[in-house]
């Protein structure tokens, strides 16, 4: 059985641990102090990808950072843990296409009639990354990770523009999949491995799980004053 | 042995739950069958898990699972329709509560002239005004007939709003275009968010008539007609795509089912996918339904005197087609009715940026709250020189914008969709902008319809429903006209920048981006069995013990959101079933 999606009852991730440690009294009271310590120790280890191999993971670290770079606005994909988020997502029903209609025949049609490929997200990543690597070596004589930021951007631009085919996958399809999941990783609750330290939310001024704006319905355009909190109770 | 009940209801959304409540009140034994799982707010709505954007609106956990069944879509009759493989343009519900669990809560009545739009257009502009190929029709029911049922629904939903006229007397600052009401809203209007208040002031200064959107979000604590309780909405912004953790948004799960479940005459079976309505050999009488228990994979037949379809617009049409209820529509010979007049909702969202010192705090909001104008909706303006039928309300309905949704939508239209410049615009847009929608009508056309797909099948071996749908010139020009009215309002709001979005001439319907889940028609009501599938009581013309409840009944798509109208039609149909049909079953209108 593939691991389940992380939930509050199954906190196998670092930011959950950090968040829960912020509410130590709860853990002490329920006699879980030793478990909390064990989890904290595990959280200190770097994340080891499960679905992606080391080279694929490095590709994601580089490519996602180009899509969502660290800059004056705030952290980029690398610091936010987007690659970890992607690897964890690959272990969920989403990555297995379990909510997609995947019965054939698979006929191609006009773009506005939507996705018509026989591939689930896991396939798109496996084939897409291999395809980009191949394209990078063909065009630049080096793998994607070894290229300059400018060359990496050229490749991403070509994929987005639709001029590159990656084996059986149109480059644009892979680009959109990667962009979508990268942005999810930057802004989803840290429960899922991305948005580390709530860095994505701080950037946008999104207060996370506060979800109570009774007094803030109309403050005449003033900025909301309270920083974000995550589902597990982590604050920025 | 086949188990027998008085009435079977297919689908546990608003339509099904209202009908189930009414029929159990009438003393009938009722079984409600729902293809999706059991869902209750204490479980699905529990904070903080419920307000998780990735799990909720992004991974779409409360919506239909397309792996089991979907539709195929094409724009024109000469194309091959292709499966709708990933949820995007519209997000049908599944599970107890249906889409009523994860809707937003904008709760409208109807513009009275929309119920007799064909007559109204002809009276004002003559028959020639109606474009070739447009199937403009009247509903066969009037606002005055429906008014008591709008009132009844609002008191069940706990609707917040500001009335304009009650029993002929002007009572408040509500929508001046709205018709007379027998009573006020049960709850006062929701407060204007900052964004909505800016729009209200600007629209008023421009000479328009802003009003608070009627919202099935409770502005105060409320106990409804059935004794179900709602708590005050705190503008958390997690309506659309979520189960409200505060019991503030009306849903079948909170507003009807808690009492219905106590009724010994009622039972609800979840994970029960209805495959077909069973008919007798004459095809004029339903004997019950056959469903698949999706857990055990066993097929089960239930017999009943009355079958109510409340499976949502296009599922109702699908069930009629696979069961052989009524005559399928054929656009070539222009005969048959089931599948005819399939309609949707035009919607375009424009964006206005306020100065950098002003924060719109877009995460603050409620699904049904906002400020609208109706100056360009329905028949409220002169279409004569414009040459199109229909209209749009225009509104700021800040429902709570989440970061992933904002990030996915930012950029594009010639601006970067990734990289540092993208991040600049995302942050600026999230903090300082607001959205203004033109949410309009969509007319019916001879070559826009529903039928069964010749190729693709669902997980149960039945053909998928096929949608043939695109935007037509009349509706595109209507949308463009209304959007042009946004510009001066946006200027008056102090816009530093605006991005006015409208449909473009010839633009086909695109299945890849969310528009609305306001699909309509396909089994429409009317007074002529040649051009409608159900009569004015939503009773099948052909199989008189089948009633088909939902937005499938709309002959054309109106500017307003559909659910208020669906609920009123459900109460209207139920009233006449109780008052007339049950006493002497049979056709309630002579064909
Ligand atoms: C995100 C979102 C926001 C919305 N916001 C608004 C709004 O603000 N205002 C508004 O007016 N409307 C809104 N809507 C639309 C509104 O949700 C629908 O109009 C309304 O819920 C329809 O109710 P219904 O009972 O007809 O159908 P549904 O709620 O769809 O219920 C039908 C049920 O039937 C079940 N079913 C289908 N086929 C079968 C079968 N073969 N066997 C057994 N069961 C079956 C389905 O699983 C479903 O649970 C929104 C919709 C969405 C998705
Ligand atoms: S905004 Fe209000 S109605 Fe909507 S989910 Fe939050 S509390 Fe409930």
**Domain map (residue ranges) of chain A:** 11-44, 54-196
Q: Quick count: other Cβ atoms within 10 Å of Cβ A163?
A: 11
Query: Across the interface, do B86 and A114 touch by the CB < 8 Å criterion?
Result: yes
- Give the nearest ligand 1 atom to B319 CA: 41
Rounded to whole angstroms, how far apart are CA atoms A72 and A89?
Answer: 28
Rounded to whole angstroms, how far apart are CA atoms B71 and B578?
Answer: 35
Q: Which helix (H) or strand (E) holds B9?
A: strand B3-10
pTM of the model: 0.95
For this structure, is B209 an active site residue? no
Which of B200, B201, B236 lies closest to B218 in space, CA to CA?
A: B236
- Give the nearest ligand 1 atom to B315 CA: 38
Ligand 2: residue of B47, B222, B239 to mutate (most ligand atoms within 8 A of CB) is: B239
Ligand 2: residue of B157, B193, B241, B244 to mutate (most ligand atoms within 8 A of CB) is: B244
Q: What is the pLDDT of residues A153-211, one digit of tens each?
A: 999 999 999 999 999 999 999 999 999 999 999 999 999 999 999 999 999 999 999 99
Ligand 1: residue of B31, B70, B103, B463 to mutate (most ligand atoms within 8 A of CB) is: B103
The neighbouring-strand residues paired with B93 are B63
Any idea which ligand is nearest the CA of B520? 1
Q: How far is B496 from chain A (nearest CA, A)?
A: 15
Rounded to whole angstroms, how far apart are CA atoms A216 and B94?
Answer: 33
Which of B383, B365, B375 lies closest to B204 in space, CA to CA?
A: B375
User: Does B367 contact ligand 2 (Cβ within 6 A)?
Assistant: yes
CA of B509: which chain A residue's CA is closest? Answer: A112
Query: Across the interface, do A114 and B82 touch by the CB < 8 Å criterion?
Result: yes
SS3 (DSSP) at B483: helix
The neighbouring-strand residues paired with B522 are B340
Provide, as residue numbers in chain B, all residues whose Cβ is less than 8 Å from the Cβ of A7: 49
Provide, as residue numbers in chain A, all residues whose Cβ is less than 8 Å from the Cβ of B191: 217-218
Domains of chain B: 3-581 (3.50.50.60)
Q: Whose CA is nearest to atom 27 of ligand 1?
A: B312
The neighbouring-strand residues paired with B249 are B217
Suggest the residue from B423, B427, B471 to mutate for an interface test with chain A (most A CBs closer than 10 A).
Answer: B423
Tell me the pLDDT of chain A averaged across its residues.
88
The yes-or-no verdict on residue A18 having pLDDT over 90 is no
Provide, as residue numbers in chain A, all residues whose Cβ is less than 8 Å from the Cβ of B70: 101
DSSP-derived letter for residue B579 is I
The neighbouring-strand residues paired with B521 are B342
Q: Which of residues 273-292 of B touch A (CB under 8 A)?
A: none
Q: How far is A218 from chain B (nearest CA, A)?
A: 4
CA of B82: which chain A residue's CA is closest? Answer: A113
Provide, as residue numbers in chain A, all residues whose Cβ is less than 8 Å from the Cβ of B73: 113-114
Given a contact cutoff of 8 angstroms between Cβ atoms, the answer to whether B339 and B519 are in contact is: no
Q: What is the pLDDT of residue A9?
A: 40
Query: Across the interface, do A68 and B48 touch by the CB < 8 Å criterion?
Result: no
Q: Is B396 on the interface with A (CB under 8 A)?
A: no
Q: How far is A38 from chain B (nearest CA, A)?
A: 24
CA of B399: which chain A residue's CA is closest? Answer: A217
CA of A160: which chain B residue's CA is closest? Answer: B417
Burial class (CB in 10 A: 0-12, 13-18, 19+), A12: middle
Q: Which of residues 62-81 of A touch B (CB under 8 A)?
A: 66-69, 71, 73-74
Q: How far is the CA of B424 from the centre of ligand 1 (A)?
A: 38
| A61-81: average pLDDT | 98
Q: What is the four-CA torsion angle of B362, B364, B366, B371, rounded to 10 degrees?
A: -60
The yes-or-no verdict on residue A21 having pLDDT over 70 is no
Q: Is A113 on the interface with B (CB under 8 A)?
A: yes
Q: Quick count: other Cβ atoms within 10 Å of Cβ A74?
A: 18
Provide, as residue numbers in chain A, all residues whose Cβ is less than 8 Å from the Cβ of B403: 187, 200-201, 204, 206
Given a contact cutoff of 8 angstroms between Cβ atoms, the answer to whether A187 and B403 are in contact is: yes
Given a contact cutoff of 8 angstroms between Cβ atoms, the answer to whether A147 and B413 are in contact is: no
Which of A5-9, A102-106, B564-568 is the least confident region?
A5-9
Q: What is the pLDDT of residue A31?
A: 43
Distances (CA, A) of A12 to A42, A61, A209, B181: 9, 21, 20, 56
Query: Across the interface, do A211 and B418 touch by the CB < 8 Å criterion?
Result: no
Q: How far is A34 from chain B (nearest CA, A)?
A: 25
Q: Which of residues 184-203 of B touch A (CB under 8 A)?
A: 191-194, 197
Rounded to whole angstroms, how far apart are CA atoms B538 and A83?
Answer: 53
Q: Which of B4, B318, B518, B576 is catalytic?
A: B518
Q: Which of residues 532-571 of B touch A (CB under 8 A)?
A: none
Q: What is the pLDDT of residues A204-225, one digit of tens each?
A: 999 999 999 999 999 999 999 9
Q: What is the predicted ipTM? A: 0.96
Q: What is the pLDDT of residues B15-50, one digit of tens each?
A: 999 999 999 999 999 999 999 999 999 999 999 999
- Residues sharing a CB contact under 8 Å with residue A219, sequence separation 6 or more, in sequence order: B194, B361
Provide, as residue numbers in chain A, all residues whose Cβ is less than 8 Å from the Cβ of B94: none
Q: How far is the CA of B99 from the centre of ligand 1 (A)?
A: 3
User: How many A/B residue pairs have CB atoms within 8 Å?
Assistant: 186
The low-confidence residues of chain B, meaning pLDDT below 70, are: 1-2
Q: How far is B193 from chain A (nearest CA, A)?
A: 5
The yes-or-no verdict on residue A4 having pLDDT over 50 is no
Q: What is the pLDDT of residue B544?
A: 98
Burial class (CB in 10 A: 0-12, 13-18, 19+), A94: buried
- Give the nearest ligand 2 atom to B400 CA: 1
The yes-or-no verdict on residue A148 having pLDDT over 80 is yes
Q: Is B424 on the interface with A (CB under 8 A)?
A: yes
| A122-136: average pLDDT | 98
Which of B514, B426, B440, B516 lies closest to B481 in space, CA to CA?
A: B440
Pocket of ligand 1 (CB under 6 A): B 10-16, 33-36, 91-95, 98-100, 102-106, 240-241, 273-274, 310-312, 315, 319, 367-368, 517-518, 550-551, 561-564, 566
Q: Which of residues 175-194 of A touch B (CB under 8 A)?
A: 179-180, 183-184, 186-189, 191-192
Q: How far is the CA of B45 from the centre of ligand 2 (A)?
A: 11
Q: Whose CA is nearest to atom 3 of ligand 2?
A: B249
């Amino acid at each position: 059985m593939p691991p389940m999606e992380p939930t509050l009852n199954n906190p196998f991730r670092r930011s959950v641990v950090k968040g829960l440690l912020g509410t130590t009294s709860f853990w002490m009271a329920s006699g879980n102090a030793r478990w909390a310590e064990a989890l904290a120790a595990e959280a200190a280890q770097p994340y080891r990808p499960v679905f992606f191999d080391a080279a694929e993971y490095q590709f994601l670290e580089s490519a996602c950072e180009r899509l969502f770079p660290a800059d004056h606005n705030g952290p980029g994909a690398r610091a936010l843990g987007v690659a970890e988020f992607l690897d964890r997502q690959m272990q969920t029903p989403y990555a297995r296409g379990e909510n997609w209609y995947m019965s054939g025949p698979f006929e191609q049609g006009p773009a506005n009639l939507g996705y018509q490929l026989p591939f689930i997200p896991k396939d798109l990543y496996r084939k897409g990354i291999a395809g980009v690597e191949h394209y990078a070596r063909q065009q630049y004589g080096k793998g994607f990770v070894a290229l300059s930021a400018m060359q990496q951007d050229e490749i991403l631009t070509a994929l987005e523009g639709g001029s590159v085919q990656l084996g059986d996958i149109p480059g644009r399809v892979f680009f959109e999949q990667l962009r979508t999941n990268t942005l999810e990783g930057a802004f989803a609750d840290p429960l899922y491995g991305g948005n580390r330290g709530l860095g994505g939310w701080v950037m946008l001024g999104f207060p996370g799980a506060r979800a109570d704006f009774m007094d803030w319905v109309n403050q005449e355009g003033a900025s909301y004053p309270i920083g974000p909190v995550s589902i597990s109770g982590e604050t920025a | 042995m086949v188990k027998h009940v008085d009435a079977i209801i297919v689908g546990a959304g608003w339509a099904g739950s209202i009908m189930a409540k009414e029929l159990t009140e009438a003393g009938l034994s009722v079984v409600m069958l729902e293809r999706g799982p059991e869902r209750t707010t204490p479980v699905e709505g529990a904070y903080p898990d419920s307000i998780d954007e990735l799990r909720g609106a992004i991974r779409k956990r409360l919506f239909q699972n397309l792996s089991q069944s979907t539709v195929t879509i094409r724009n024109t009759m000469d194309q091959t329709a292709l499966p709708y493989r990933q949820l995007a343009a519209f997000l049908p519900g599944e599970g107890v509560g249906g889409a009523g669990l994860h809707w937003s809560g904008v709760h409208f009545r109807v513009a009275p002239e929309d119920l007799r739009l064909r007559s109204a257009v002809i009276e004002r502009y003559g028959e020639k005004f109606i474009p070739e190929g447009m199937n403009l029709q009247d509903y066969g029911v009037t606002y005055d007939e429906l008014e008591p049922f709008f009132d009844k629904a609002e008191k069940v939903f706990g609707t917040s709003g500001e009335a304009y006229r009650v029993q002929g007397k002007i009572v408040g600052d509500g929508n001046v275009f709205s018709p007379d009401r027998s009573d006020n809203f049960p709850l006062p209007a929701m407060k204007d968010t900052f964004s909505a208040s800016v729009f209200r002031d600007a629209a008023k200064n421009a000479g328009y008539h802003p009003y608070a959107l009627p919202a099935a979000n409770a502005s105060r604590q409320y106990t409804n007609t059935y004794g179900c309780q709602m708590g005050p909405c705190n503008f958390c912004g997690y309506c659309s795509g979520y189960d409200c953790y505060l019991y503030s948004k009306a849903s079948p799960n909170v507003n009807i089912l808690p009492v219905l479940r106590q009724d010994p005459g009622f039972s609800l079976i979840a994970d029960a996918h209805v495959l077909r309505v069973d008919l007798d050999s004459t095809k004029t009488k339903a004997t019950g339904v056959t469903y698949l228990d999706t857990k055990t994979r066993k097929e089960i037949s239930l017999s009943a005197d009355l079958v109510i379809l409340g499976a949502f617009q296009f599922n109702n049409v699908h069930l009629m087609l696979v069961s052989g209820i009524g005559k399928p529509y054929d656009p070539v010979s222009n005969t048959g009715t089931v599948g005819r007049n399939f309609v949707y909702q035009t919607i375009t969202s424009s964006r206005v940026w306020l100065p950098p010192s002003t924060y719109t705090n877009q995460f603050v909001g409620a699904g049904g709250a906002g400020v609208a104008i109706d100056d360009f909706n329905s028949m409220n303006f002169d279409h004569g020189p414009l040459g199109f039928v229909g209209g749009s309300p225009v509104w700021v309905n800040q429902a709570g914008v989440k970061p992933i949704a904002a990030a996915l939508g930012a950029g594009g239209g010639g601006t970067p969709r990734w990289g540092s410049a993208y991040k600049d615009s995302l942050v600026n847009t999230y903090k300082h902008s607001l959205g203004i929608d033109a949410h309009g009508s969509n007319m019916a056309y001879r070559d826009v319809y529903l039928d069964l797909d010749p190729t693709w099948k669902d997980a149960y071996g039945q053909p998928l429903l096929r949608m043939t749908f695109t935007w037509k010139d009349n509706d595109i020009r209507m949308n463009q006209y209304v959007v042009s009215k946004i510009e001066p309002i946006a200027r008056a709001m102090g816009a530093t920048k605006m991005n006015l979005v409208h449909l473009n001439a010839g633009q086909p319907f695109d299945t890849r981006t969310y528009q609305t889940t306001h699909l309509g028609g396909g089994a429409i009501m009317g007074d002529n069995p040649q051009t409608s599938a159900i009569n004015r009581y939503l009773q099948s013309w052909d199989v008189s013990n089948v009633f088909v409840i939902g937005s499938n009944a709309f002959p054309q798509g109106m500017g307003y959101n559909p659910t208020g109208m669906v609920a009123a039609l459900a109460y209207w149909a139920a009233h006449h079933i109780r008052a007339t049909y049950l006493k002497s079953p049979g056709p309630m209108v002579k064909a």
